Amino acid sequence: MPPARSTTLPRAAATDPVLLALAGTVLAAVGWLLAGPGGVETHVLVRAWLGPPLNLVLVAGALRLANRPGRAAADRRFWRALAGTGVLLLIGQLGRLATALRHPDAAAVATGRFQTVFVLAGVAVLAAAVVTHPRPPAPGRARVRYLLDTTAVVTAAVVAIWFMTDRSAAYGAGAGAALAAVVIGAALTFAVTRLIAGGHSPISSVAAAPIVAAAVLQCLQGAVLPAATSWRIPLALQVAAVALISAGPRLQELGERVTASRPPRRPRSYSVLPYAMLGLVFALLPAVLPAGLSRTALVALGGLLVITAIVVSRQLITFAENESLVRRSEAGLRTLRRQEERVRLLLEYSTDITSLIDHTGAMTYLTPATRMLGYEPGELLGVRVLTLIHPDDLPAILPDLQRLMAAPGSTYTYQARYRHGAGGWRWLEVTSRNLTHEPSVGAVVSNARDVTDSRELQDRLRHEATHDALTGLANRVLFGRRLAAALAGGVALLHIDLDGFKPINDTYGHHAGDAVLVRVAERLSAALPAGAVAARLGGDEFAALLPGADAAAAARVAEEFRAALAEPVEVDGHRLTIGASIGAVTGAGTDPEALLRRADEAMYRSKHAAARR
């Protein structure tokens, strides 16, 4: 079962039943081999019986990793090769067990020829897998770093192998053991260089560490320890080495589970491999220095070691600080990119048009919302915004727009009609702010939203409030305003009352009466000169306002209207005739109500005169 999201690899390893069983068994065995009762025969048999099960753990773990779904083909080949190495080691362990069962004596403490052959074969299989494992291409500097790391590892390995072979000869170790140590050391050097320094490894450093430690222990017990060393130590080192290499695949599996539950971590930008190799070479110095060095030489050598350790430590601290700065910078860049992406999406899907306008009035940036005006954003780049505004709206807003362009930091909000790409006009409410003084902007920023529907609704409501719903003429309220506005310059006023309208309503119905009223309104509007205002005051009462006209002009309009009414009105196949009583007055001043009363009185005098005739 995968570990929880907050699980770390050390915590997962400390609670893993496989690793716990492996560690418990090996610790008990090593402790007993080092200090337990019994002679060499019993200890040799215990070591021989422990080898095959531990190798089976290695084979099973490597095969589980090789068969894990989603793993790359090259990584599968590596883990199958490691499983093959485990099988060869298992065969060698079984041969050792057979030998120990026949001759459980001190000669069985050392690694025999049969087991050595299969160990070397297993190392060859692993080396072949490393050779064929692909390495991703790297740029020039990465190749230089790779070569430098490789040189450091190879140099340290040559020194260490030379040291081991030299000690092997000095302590009287067998030639086979020395050869095995040299081959294992060389293979280890190659594997570390090819996989870890190469930049792409199928095995993590945590899983590789116990395998490397197992190889080192094998070298120690096979080529470095003096021949006179107690048989207890080699046996304990052999069991520890086999257990360590068997734990590697399990640590890899746990590490992959923990990594899968966490976001990927950025690889380190520096390598500690050259410094580790430096430490390895320095660690060998005390063992290879000749006896009898002077105190001064020893002090100088000690100082060299201390200063080197300080320099390396300072260098690693600097690397770690730089790495931390780089990660913080990358985190800041990721945050900035997320913010930029958020702003981009907000602008892209906003229904408001955001634009930048330079000092010439040309648009240099527009959001995709310009499509609501029938344009793609690129179509309007370089277009002066004034060319899109309706000519009737431009005079009212142009002075304020000019003041906005001349005053950095100022803001101006207005409504105007803008040309639609498919023809027609759309009302936009625009808020513009002059940010030409801001270096990061250097333009006037405008945000515009389409208010056509609300503007048309307002205009419709305003029209309905000031116009007659049936005829479309001005109502009494609007007519009174226009009269009051024009009265100071002198006006002529016609007050009209229809004759014979009530019988039409009573005989043919209100719909016929409404049709007659509409025709009367049309004929009244047609009879008026430009600048005059026609109104329906209510019922069958109409009025006409003639600004600046005299009595003669009013009489001519009245006669023209009467002539127009003489033509019958056709409604539902009926030819209906209607007349009108018209009162005409002229006047000037500031009292519109008084003029309306005079026109009303004149209309009634006309009606009574017609009735007497």
Who contacts 154 (Cβ-Cβ below 8 Å, separation ≥6)? 189, 193
Query: How far, in Å, CA of 120 to CA of 124, rounded?
Result: 6
What pLDDT sits at residue 164? 64
What's the number of domains the chain is made of?
3
Question: Residue holding tokens 């006209």?
Answer: 549
3-state secondary structure 193-234: HHHHCCCCCCCCHHHHHHHHHHHHHHHHHHHHCCCCCCCHHH
Quick check: is 128 in a domain?
yes
Kindly state whether residues 85 and 181 are assigned to the same domain. Answer: yes
* 413 Cβ contact list (under 8 Å, min separation 6): 429, 430, 431, 432
CATH number for the domain spanning 442: value is: 3.30.450.20
Statement to judge: residues 391 and 533 lie in one domain: no
312 lies in some domain: no
Tell me if 483 sits within 8 A of 592, measured CB to CB: yes
What are 353's strand-pairing partners? Answer: 448
Are 424 and 492 found together in one domain?
no
* 8-state DSSP, 480: H
137/134 Cα distance (integer angstroms): 9
Domain that holds residue 367: 353-457
564 and 473 in a single domain? The answer is yes
Q: Do 396 and 501 fall within a single domain?
A: no
Dmax over CA atoms of the chain, in Å, equals 158
568 lies in some domain: yes
Laid out side by side, the sheet with 363-366 consists of 363-366, 353-357, 443-450, 425-435, 411-419
Q: Is residue 327, in this structure, part of any structural domain at all?
A: no
Flag whether 536 is in a domain.
Answer: yes
What integer pLDDT is reported at residue 532 of this predicted model? 93
| Sole residue written with tokens 């090996």 | 26
Pairing of strands 411-419, 541-547: unpaired
* 156 within a domain of the structure (yes/no): yes
Tokens (6 digits) for 98: 């057979």
Q: Is residue 544 part of a domain?
A: yes
Alpha carbon distances (Å) from 526 to 475, 532, 542, 553, 557: 18, 11, 14, 15, 10
End-to-end CA distance of the chain: 114
- The single residue listed with the structure tokens 């410094």 is 275
pTM for the full predicted model: 0.50
Q: Mean pLDDT of residues grouped by 10 in the chain (613 residues)?
A: 59 87 88 82 84 90 90 88 90 86 75 79 81 69 70 71 62 54 61 60 80 74 57 82 88 84 62 74 74 81 86 84 82 82 75 88 89 87 91 92 92 93 91 91 90 85 87 91 89 92 88 92 92 92 93 92 90 88 88 89 87 67
Nearest to 86 by CA among 55, 65, 64: 55
- Distance of alpha carbon 111 from alpha carbon 114, whole angstroms: 8
| CA geometry: angle 228, 231, 236, nearest 5 deg | 130
pLDDT at 497: 92
Q: Collect all residues with Cβ–Cβ distance below 8 Å to 543 and sequence separation of at least 6.
A: 479, 493, 494, 495, 496, 534, 535, 536, 537, 599
Cα distances (Å, whole numbers) of residue 254 to 14, 18, 62, 296: 11, 11, 13, 52
Residue at a domain's end among 234, 260, 286: 260
- Mark whether 424 and 570 lie in a shared domain: no
Give me the sign of the Cα torsion angle 594, 595, 599, 602.
positive
Tokens of 452: 């056509």
Nearest CA among 181, 238, 233, 237 for reference residue 48: 238
Q: At what angle do helices 73-102 and 232-260 cross, to 10 degrees?
A: 160
CATH of the domain at 524: 3.30.70.270
The token pair at 38 is: 């019994």
Nearest to 470 by CA among 518, 540, 523: 518
Asked whether residue 453 falls in the same domain as residue 564, the answer is no
Q: Is residue 480 located within the same domain as residue 447? A: no
Name beta bridge partners: 496.
542, 582
Same domain, 54 and 179: yes
Indicate if 49 and 170 belong to the same structural domain.
yes
State the CB neighbour count (10 A cutoff) for residue 404. Answer: 20
Whether 307 is covered by a domain: the verdict is no
Please indicate, yes or no, whether residues 371 and 511 belong to a single structural domain of this protein: no
Q: How far apart are CA 605 and CA 77, in angstroms?
A: 117
Last residue of a domain, one of 205, 229, 260: 260
| Tally of CA atoms within 13 A in the half-sphere of 235 that contains its CB | 31
Q: Which two tokens stand for residue 172?
A: 């009287």
Asked if 113 and 248 sit in the same domain, the reply is yes
Q: Choose one of 239, 260, 281: the last residue of a domain.
A: 260
Q: Which helix (H) or strand (E) holds 300?
A: helix 295-349
